[in-house]
Structure 1
Amino acid sequence: MVVIEQEPEPEEKESPSSSSAKNPRGSSRVPEESEDGGGRGGSDDDSFEDALTQDQLNERALNQANDAKADGNKLFGAGQYDDALLQYERALQIASEVPSSEEVRSMCHANRAVCFLKLGRYNDAITECTKALELKPSYVKALLRRGEAHEKLEHYEEAIGDMKKIIEIDSSNDQARRIIMRLEPLAAEKREKMKEEMIGKLKDMGNSVLGRFGMSVDNFKAVKDPNTGSYSISFQR
């Protein structure tokens, strides 16, 4: 996924106060002491930080987060998925303290999910997509990627559920419809397989109990009543 990021605004440094000002006696001016006993003098960086408003600090942090995300995108494009993960995590750490940063954080989580998909770490991909969706519930790409991870793990019902959520958001999404059509037979096959496995386990359990009495579940036959749909059990030797 290629994301074009806006370059951050160049930081402007506050011009340092003149250090050549003289007191009436001609000696260099000594910084006045503050109430806590410390001098008012400080580095230019400290003066710059103090001069910034909270909105400006938030904007600068958000620019730094976007830069880290852009670096992650470049690394992802180069196939360096582990390094890309680190950059997305760095962006998340920076943006976590910035109000109204849900957009960039949701994108970083979704991008981390793609990295995990490439690395075959499907459970981690699901976790990251879920975090992205907590920040942005209508994030279609995150739903698609979580559905893909569920499919890789043969969680067909969960994958279908994500595709249905996409259609609720965008009824014209043909990709989600095609995925549902492809996954429904796989989900039905898995349900049938699970049912057979469950019946087999129940038979084994029944035989372990009935075997003490010289019987097995094969001695019992279930007959369905076509009128009521209920079953009657008959014993056969």
Structure 2
Amino acid sequence: MVLFEPQPTDEQQQQQQKEATKATSSSSSETTRGSTVAAVSENANGGDAASDGFETASERDVSDNEEDDRPGDQQPPQQRGPDSYQDALNDEQLKEKALAQANDAKTEGNNLFGNGQYQEALLQYEVALQVTAEMPSATEIRSICHSNRAVCFLKLVNYEETIKECNKALELNASYMKALVRRGEAHEKLEHFEEAIADMKKILELDPANDHARKAIRRLEPLAAEKRDKMKEEMIGKLKELGNSVLGRFGMSIDNFKAVKDPNTGSYSISFQN
């Protein structure tokens, strides 16, 4: 006997289709959720691969700190400069020592000069000048030593050196009267009477009551005038020689010409005499 399975009705078929569709949708959702969870888990556990080539904020902070901590990037501490106050104190001490040494040498030079040892005295004064070279505060002792060297040369009859040393002393102290007196004496010895008179006049400007300078001027002025006249005669004689050498070619001489002074104006006129 053949059995036939009863066919579902239309309503039953529609119900079965709905249930099948619902089951399929549920299965798809589970699959999707599983894939998503797996992806999230993979990202959480294997994120290093996904972040290659990128730097996070925390990584930058660590990197900066490490670079700052490297010895090569740190600046060395600045060295302290010299103590300017101590340097100034040392300079003053050196200057005081040099001045003390110069005074000792000058004193020794004075003692030697008093004993007539002029060459030895010159050396001591030179020592004083050397140790005080380039010292503005040593102007006084330097001018004295130059003047003392001048009088040593005066005693040694070396008048040119006397004048040179006096010039140096007066460059340091223009009103140093001893240097003016000694230079005036040296000029007189060399018959530089005009220069000697100028020195004596300078002394009178500084000390109008200086009787020595006044007497020296009265004594030197006639000598200066005599020297001027002598020099004038020598010059005229040389000019005559030169004139005669030229005029002789024409049969004449200087003697053919006479200079006549005008008493009113003091000028001269030249007249020819045959």
Superposition TM-score tier, normalisation by shorter sequence: 0.7 to 0.9
1:5 alignment counterpart: none
| Residue 205 to residue 117, structure 1, CA distance change in 2 (3 Å) | same
Structure 1 pair 227–116 and aligned structure 2 pair: CA distance change class (3 A): closer
Preserved CA contact (<8 Å) 1:62 1:98:
no
Do residues 154 (structure 1) and 228 (structure 2) align? Answer: no
Greater relative contact order (CA < 8 Å, ≥ 6 in sequence): 1
- Which blocks of at least 5 consecutive residues in structure 1 are unaligned? 1-49
Q: Secondary structure at the match of 2:208?
A: coil
Matches within 5 A, 1:50-199: 53-199=90-236
Q: Aligned to 2:130, what secondary structure does the other structure show?
A: helix
> Which amino acid letter does the alignment assign opposite residue 211 of structure 2?
D
**TM-score, normalising length from structure 1?**
0.76
Of Structure 1 and Structure 2, which has the larger fraction of its residues in helix?
A: 2
| 1:66 partner letter | N
Letter in 1 for 2:133: S
User: Residues of 1 paired with 2:264 and 2:173: CA distance?
Assistant: 51
Which one has the largest radius of gyration? 2
Give me the TM-score of the superposition, normalised by structure 2.
0.66
State how far apart, in whole Å, the 2-side matches of 1:51 and 1:146 are: 39
CA 1:211–1:51 in structure 2 vs 1: closer, same or farther (change >3 Å)? closer
Q: What is the CA–CA distance in structure 2 between the aligned matches of 1:231 and 1:186, rounded to whole Å?
A: 26
Counterpart contact for 1:107–1:132, Cα < 8 Å: yes
Q: Note if contact 1:58-1:99 (Cα within 8 Å) is conserved in structure 2.
A: no
Whether the aligned pair in 2 keeps the contact of 1:224 and 1:231 (CA below 8 Å) is yes
Structure 1 residue 235 corresponds to structure 2 residue 269: no
Aligned mates of 1:179, 1:137 — CA distance in 2: 20
Query: Alignment partner of 2:199: what SS?
Result: helix
Q: Which amino acid counterpart does residue 112 of structure 1 have in structure 2?
A: R
Aligned alpha-carbon RMSD (Å): 1.7
Distance in 1 between the 2:113 and 2:265 partners?
Answer: 61
Residues 231 and 181 from structure 1, CA distance in 2 versus in 1: closer, same or farther, beyond 3 angstroms? closer
How far off is 1:55 after superposition? 1.0
Give 1:19-58 correspondences, 5 Å limit. 53-58=90-95
Counterpart of 2:162 in 1: which secondary structure? Answer: helix
